[in-house]
Amino acid sequence: MKKLLCLLAFACVVGTSAQNKRLPQLGKDPVEKILRAMTLEEKAAMLVGVSVEEGSSLVANVAGTTCAVSRLGIPHTYLQDGPSGLRIDTVRKGDTRKYYCTGFPVATLLASTWNDKLVTKVGATMGEELNSYGIDVLLAPGLNIQRNPLNGRNFEYYSEDPLLSGYMAAAIVRGLQSQGVGGTIKHFAANNQQSMRMFNDARISQRALREIYLRNFEIAIRESNPWAVMSSYNSLNGQRVQSHRGLLTDLLRGEWGFRGVVMTDWGEPRITVDQIHAGNDLLMGGKPQQVKDIVEGVKNGALSEADVDEGVRRVLRYVLKTKSFKGHQATWNPDLKAHAVVACEAAEEGIVLLKNGRTALPLAKDEKVALFGVGSYNFYANGLGSADVNTPYTINMIQGLANANVSIHPRLDQYYRQYIANEDFQLGEANTPSWKNWFFGYKKPKEADLDPSFIGYRAKDCSKAIITIARNAGECEDRDYKEGDYLLTPTERKLIENVSKAFHAKKKPVVVVLNTGGAMDIASWQGLVDAILLVWQPGEEGGNAVANVLTGKVCPSGKLPMTLANAYTDIPASKNFPLHYKFSWDELLRPGAEVMAKKDLGYTLYEEDIWVGYRHFNTRGCEVAYPFGYGLSYTTFAYGTPTMKVKNGRCKVAVKVTNTGKVSGKEVVQLYATAPKGKLEKPLRELKAYGKTPLIAPGESAVVEMDFPLSDLASFDEDRMAWVTDAGTYILSVGASVEDIRATLQLAVKRETVKPVKTRI
């Protein structure tokens, strides 16, 4: 592979072989010796990312590179998106072959597996593709908290719970880094909305920060040692995150011991000297002016050379770990067939069965199914923007069911194909390829308005109905509480009503498949149908994975990583979240004072504090559509009496799980803690550990072991600026969801433990 020429040519000097013999070389000489040999301009250049030019020899327009200083043996390294798989262009200059990557399920689905080993396998498979295409670092995983279901980027994140989010992100990172490539945990921190994401000031209490919005990152760093952390655009309690030394240096490196590189998110705004002083090592997106800013900052005393040296030191240590430094040659030939098997396996295990009445599922072998809904054809494998993956294919519902030998009524198939073709023709001009359409999504046909008599004929000659409802979202825009997004459109609701009426009149069940990256309203219509299968955005093999669950080839074992509320207004964060506001591109980059003064745009009050998701619903006794950790199966499980051991500062709980049903299946076991009464109000239950059984045959059992450090029992006391573990008796609850508790244990803590922190964020 030819090396890219650095845009910052003055800093990337190609020395002669004679010069190289007299100069220290990275990898052969200590990093400190390399650092002493660098000019100030070269140091500055090492801290500024280089965007790859169009028409490069790489297969992709990679998101960015680090600068090379060839006279000192420092090569370029390459960084690329994204969270659902490596995002590359399909074409390579001078090559007629098309190149693709595997589209894996979105992060929310991966979290729904509750299976760390499987998610690590997904990360390792992604890592293999990075190696194939010569990429050193994946700009993923994202693990911000799903504070509100309308965050446009929630599908890139894992959960409303920081522990589940942290362990899932750690699993992906461990998988990636097992292949010699790096993971980047992002967006650090409290980047929980897309509206004004570059400027919004998240105003959060110290307790909520520590227990909810930083805890996920702390766990991921502790459990996986990622190569990189990406600092987010937003402000936090009045200070821009990318200029926040207390966050990026004192807490991240001082308290938590992070030793990797910190990079900024791409693009504006750029406050170069402040960003370097705060602890950013790579200013990504990178512009030559930023190199000049660093040099001038050192010369005029605005920036210490010690800050520059520390950043360069960390970048050099990162470069030493990369495949690019080690001379790895890209093969351009990933094993996409084998990787698709992993993608399908992950999708199958993260699909959540929410409802299953009238023995609607699984489908029988000889059934003829009426498949309704535009979403059955326009199936979303993953979300928009930097999460998009150029995949070799996407299996939709029609293809998946056909592959599973399920008979689909041909008249419906013919109708939808003709309808979608006509709608696509009308949308042709609006969908002219452009970066805006790629980023914000191409317009899709709206749901078809079917004549009730047409539906009635299908009820006569089909045994069951399946309706697919699809939603998509992406970065830069939040979703909205409106019809066609969080809510059903009138046409979608009419379709569900008419299909249910016709099929129920014949005593035949109706199944709804939800192909969505995030939560949506279910409570208002769930009573109309018999079964609901939440398949998220399941990657390129989605249709096959869904069909395997629908037919019972795979027994569903996914559990919800968030609460599905009865109503959006029941969600505490609904009171402090932007709605009904669409931005122009200029406003996104340069918002005016009027926008910045608006609540939930210029600033957002996290008034719900720690009461996010199930912490609120479960503690306050609020009814929900489906609770955190919930998911049905085609079989049943019995829990034995759990045991507990406390040793070396850790608590281990083990429980025997027996399959009491008629088919083989897997069960997710969740461990929650209830704290004794103390100074602070605490949630009724908080997740502390979880585990998943292997596939258990009917009548067989497996022991699930879960453990956690006793320090995880602590809550954050703002008055003392300390993590405090109260003395007293803690109730440990073993359950199938936060509301389905099967057994409890008592854990005695004899004395209070106080662990002060130094940094107020």
Enumerate the active-site residues: 265
Handedness of CA 526, 529, 535, 537 (dihedral sign): negative
Residue 757 structure tokens: 């922190």
CA torsion, ordered 580, 569, 511, 146, to nearest 10 deg: 80
Angle between helices 542-550 and 336-350 (to 10 degrees): 40
Name the token pair of 720: 């003392």
Distant-in-sequence, close-in-space partners of 528: CB < 8 Å, separation ≥ 6: 496, 497, 500, 510
Tally of CA atoms within 13 A in the half-sphere of 400 that contains its CB = 30
Q: In which residue are the tokens 């029941």 written?
A: 570
CB-hemisphere CA count at 13 Å for 666?
Answer: 22
- 373 torsion bin: left (phi>0), alpha (psi -120 to 50), beta (else): left
Phi, psi (deg, nearest 5) at residue 221: -70, -45
- 673 forms beta bridges with 686, 732
**Distance of alpha carbon 470 from alpha carbon 608, whole angstroms:** 30
* CA quadruple 138, 141, 142, 145: dihedral, nearest 10: -170
HEC profile of 242-299:
HHCHHHHHHHHHHHCCCCCEEEECCCCCCCHHHHHHHCCCEECCCCHHHHHHHHHHHH
Where is 410: in which H helix or E strand?
A: helix 410-426
Distance (Å, whole) CA 686 – CA 725: 14
The amino acid at residue 750 is K
Burial class (CB in 10 A: 0-12, 13-18, 19+), 679: exposed
Going by C-beta distance under 8 Å and a sequence separation of 6 or more, which residues neighbour residue 670? 114, 559, 629, 687, 689, 690, 734, 735, 736, 737, 738
Quote the CA–CA distance of 471 and 486 in Å, as a whole number: 9
Q: Which residues 6+ apart lie within 8 Å of 18 measured at CB? A: none
- Please say whether the beta carbons of 228 and 317 come within 8 A: no
One-letter amino acid for residue 542 of the chain: G
Q: What is the token pair recorded at 182?
A: 């790096």
**Beta strand ranges found along 34-75 (DSSP E):** 64-65
CB 488 within 8 Å of CB 521: yes
Q: How many CB atoms lie within 10 A of CB 522?
A: 21
Cis (ω within 30 of 0) for the bond into 362? yes
55 sits in the region (left: phi over 0; alpha: psi -120 to 50; else beta) called: left
DSSP summary character for residue 85: S
DSSP string, 158-185: --SSHHHHHHHHHHHHHHHHTTT-EEEE
How far is residue 303's CA from residue 312's CA, in Å, rounded to a whole number?
14
Contact between 158 and 109 under an 8 Å Cβ cutoff? The reply is no
SS3 547: helix
- Lookup: tokens for 40: 């100030």
Cα 84–Cα 87–Cα 89 angle in degrees, nearest 5? 150
